[in-house]
């Protein structure tokens, strides 16, 4: 089968890092990602299925890896060579569920690995925090798309455990369904931010009484989905996630297209990065301190950092109120940040990763076959959100696997090119005369 394979090649990885510095977006032409003919993956057990990916997104974490900027923290949590791609909508091939359209929940947790008893996080439904992703019946890999045994979305066929497969509602198109996984990440982050609003400011007893201000810094796929999630929680399209009132969603976006989308998805105010401190000062009634730009006496109640680099983490901390919360949504690597304001203002720095069972103050969830209520999973909320917010509008272009270098370049420069999400259409093949991007309409017409 055709697959984009990422091997353990330190020399080419170093070349990709250099290329990303010299010519941003060109790393895929020099790195260890190759289009190969490989053997189909073997089904690891009876509860596993073959899945043909219809669409698979290119995530910011994928780009960090391909550009040589990924954290080495993850190295022992991968197995090489692996096929990337963890944002997947596909069709089950073979067995009783043949032809069923599904989205893949990529985390490879204890139950999938045949580990019993499961680790403590998995016992409580927090599968994103699984402690055993390097152990068990399959090779190491924190997710599908980083594990040699499973394959990933950037190929013509992968294998997935039945616990990973979520049926897609008929009303949700493939173009919307490929956004379910990043939407789930954004929803999980939004819940953390809303929960953080319960932490009172200094001198307060019951938290902010006049409503809370949440900043979303970054307007790529995660940032825009986080805005949509916060707005959906506020207006009741998703179940109530906290007791504090979310009054203002302030979005920070570099590019005009991003600012337009942020506003349409529910942000009350959208500013450029250079205007963030001024906007927070006005919204919160804070005072400027000294001559240093951006120093505030108060700040926002919570900031969702959907970028994850030195500048974004520093800026997030600088506009957060004393005892406020910075939620790291975008995958960070090694950063250099002055933590003095974090310490002095008692700001919480909160990581948020993946998804799982969500514990909300308002009852939610579905009904089991036995008629019992089960707690809600983030992927359930995500399908609701992609339909409610029409998140398919974030999908800007599709590429066949043969055009992977162009696809990675496009994804690396998405904001500047007026795009958001770039994805592969693995079942499509490039035609000999094609020289440019295949649009969603062109791919759909070819099916």
- What pLDDT shows up at residue 201? 67
Comparing C-alpha atoms, which of 185, 271, 257 is closest to residue 225? 185
Comparing C-alpha atoms, which of 277, 234, 230, 231 is closest to residue 252? 277
Domain map (residue ranges) of the chain: 2-168+390-446, 183-351
In this structure, whether the domain defined by 183-351 belongs to CATH 3.40.50.720 is answered with yes
User: What is the spatial distance between Cα 330 and Cα 224, in angstroms, rounded to a whole number?
Assistant: 12
Beta bridge partners of 56: 88, 424
**114: which 2 tokens?**
């045949």
> Which of residues 371 and 347 earns the better pLDDT score?
347
Q: Are 250 and 283 in contact (CB under 8 A)?
A: yes
User: What is the spatial distance between Cα 229 and Cα 214, in angstroms, rounded to a whole number?
Assistant: 12
- Residue 434 pLDDT greater than 60, yes or no: no
Comparing C-alpha atoms, which of 324, 329, 227 is closest to residue 270? 227
Fold equal for 2-168+390-446 and 183-351: no
pLDDT per residue as tens digits for the range 277-323: 999 999 999 999 987 777 899 999 999 999 999 999 999 999 999 99
- Quote the DSSP letter at residue 42: P
Cis ω for the linkage preceding 234 (within 30 of 0): no
Cis ω for the linkage preceding 181 (within 30 of 0): no
The residues near 148 (Cβ < 8 Å, ≥ 6 apart) are 79, 80, 81, 82, 139, 141
Q: For a pLDDT cut of 90, what percent of the chain falls above it?
A: 78
Q: Is 431 left (phi over 0), alpha (psi -120 to 50) or beta?
A: beta
pLDDT per residue as tens digits for the range 376-411: 999 999 999 999 999 999 999 999 999 999 999 999
User: What is the spatial distance between Cα 393 and Cα 267, in angstroms, rounded to a whole number?
Assistant: 16
pLDDT level of residue 207 (50, 70, 90 thresholds):
very low
pLDDT per residue as tens digits for the range 31-81: 899 999 999 999 999 999 999 999 999 999 999 999 888 888 999 999 999
Q: Which numeric CATH code is attached to 2-168+390-446?
A: 3.90.180.10
- Quote the DSSP letter at residue 334: S
Write phi, then psi, for 209 (nearest 5 degrees). -95, -20
């Amino acid at each position: 089968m055709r697959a984009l394979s990422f091997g353990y090649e330190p020399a080419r990885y170093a070349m990709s890092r250099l290329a990303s510095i010299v010519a941003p977006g060109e790393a895929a032409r020099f790195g260890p990602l190759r289009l190969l003919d490989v053997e189909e993956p073997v089904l690891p057990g009876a509860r596993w299925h073959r899945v043909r990916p219809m669409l698979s997104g290119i995530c910011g974490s994928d780009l960090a890896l391909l550009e040589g900027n990924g954290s080495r923290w993850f190295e022992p949590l991968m197995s090489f060579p692996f096929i990337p791609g963890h944002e997947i909508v596909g069709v089950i091939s073979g067995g009783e569920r043949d032809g069923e359209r599904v989205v893949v929940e990529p985390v490879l947790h204890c139950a999938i690995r045949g580990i019993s008893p499961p680790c403590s996080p998995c016992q409580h439904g927090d599968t994103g925090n699984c402690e055993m992703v390097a152990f068990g019946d399959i090779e190491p890999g924190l997710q599908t798309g980083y594990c040699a045994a499973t394959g990933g979305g950037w190929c013509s066929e992968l294998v997935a455990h039945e616990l990973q497969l979520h049926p897609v509602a008929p009303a949700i198109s493939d173009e919307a369904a490929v956004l379910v996984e990043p939407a789930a990440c954004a929803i999980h982050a939004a819940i953390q931010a809303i929960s953080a609003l319960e932490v009172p400011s200094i001198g307060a007893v019951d938290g902010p009484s006049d409503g809370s201000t949440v900043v979303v810094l970054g307007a790529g796929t995660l940032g825009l989905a986080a805005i949509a999630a916060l707005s959906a929680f506020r207006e009741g399209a998703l179940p109530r996630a906290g007791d504090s009132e979310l009054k203002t969603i302030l979005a920070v976006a570099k590019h005009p297209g991003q600012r337009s989308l942020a506003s349409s998805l529910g942000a009350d105010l959208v500013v450029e990065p250079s205007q963030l401190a001024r906007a927070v000062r006005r919204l919160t009634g804070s005072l400027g301190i000294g001559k240093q730009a951006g120093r505030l006496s108060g700040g926002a109640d919570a900031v969702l950092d959907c970028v994850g680099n030195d500048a974004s983490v520093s800026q997030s901390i600088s506009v957060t109120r004393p005892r406020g919360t910075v939620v790291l949504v975008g995958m960070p690597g090694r950063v250099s940040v002055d933590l003095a304001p974090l310490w002095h203002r008692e700001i919480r720095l909160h990581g948020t990763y993946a998804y799982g069972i969500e514990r909300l103050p308002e009852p939610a969830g579905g009904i089991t076959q036995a008629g019992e209520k089960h707690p809600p999973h983030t992927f359930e909320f995500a399908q609701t959100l992609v339909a409610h917010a029409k998140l398919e509008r974030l999908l800007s272009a599709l590429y066949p696997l043969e055009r992977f270098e162009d696809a990675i370049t496009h994804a690396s420069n998405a904001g500047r090119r007026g795009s958001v999400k770039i994805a592969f259409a693995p079942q499509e093949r490039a035609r000999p005369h094609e020289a440019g991007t295949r649009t969603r309409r062109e791919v759909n017409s070819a099916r």
